[in-house]
Amino acid sequence: MKVMNLADFQGFSSEKMKKHNVFETPRFFCDVYCFEPDQVQKGHVHANEDKIYMVLEGRGTFRVGGQEQVLGPGEGTLASAGEEHSVTNHSGARLRVLVFMAPNPS
């Protein structure tokens, strides 16, 4: 059995949002996204995959479809296949987000 500790996924980059893979199978993946202040995951769409965002640390602005909301620790949202989605770390602190996506696009 593979056991992971989310506290181990804390790598940040001053250049752009950093992605850390936690688990991956042919059917889904689970990553931790690490955002420094003012970093953005630009709006994009996955035609056939659903994505779940769950905030581990910090606060960020999440946009799914035409709706936008600030989420904090323990809060999350779903971007269904075909919905445009983005994340912005508008705060002055770091943002860590647990991300699940299925099916795995790779």
Q: Is 50 exposed, middle or buried (0-12, 13-18, 19+ CB in 10 A)?
A: middle
CATH of 12-102, one of 2.60.120.10, 3.50.50.60, 3.40.50.360, 3.40.50.2300: 2.60.120.10
Please give the C-alpha separations between residue 63 and each of 35, 48, 60, 79, 98, in angstroms, as whole numbers.
Answer: 16, 18, 10, 9, 16
**pTM for the predicted model, two decimal places:** 0.95
Question: For residue range 42-80, what is the model confidence (pLDDT) as tens digits?
Answer: 999 999 999 999 999 999 999 999 999 999 999 999 999
User: What residues does each domain of the chain span?
Assistant: 12-102
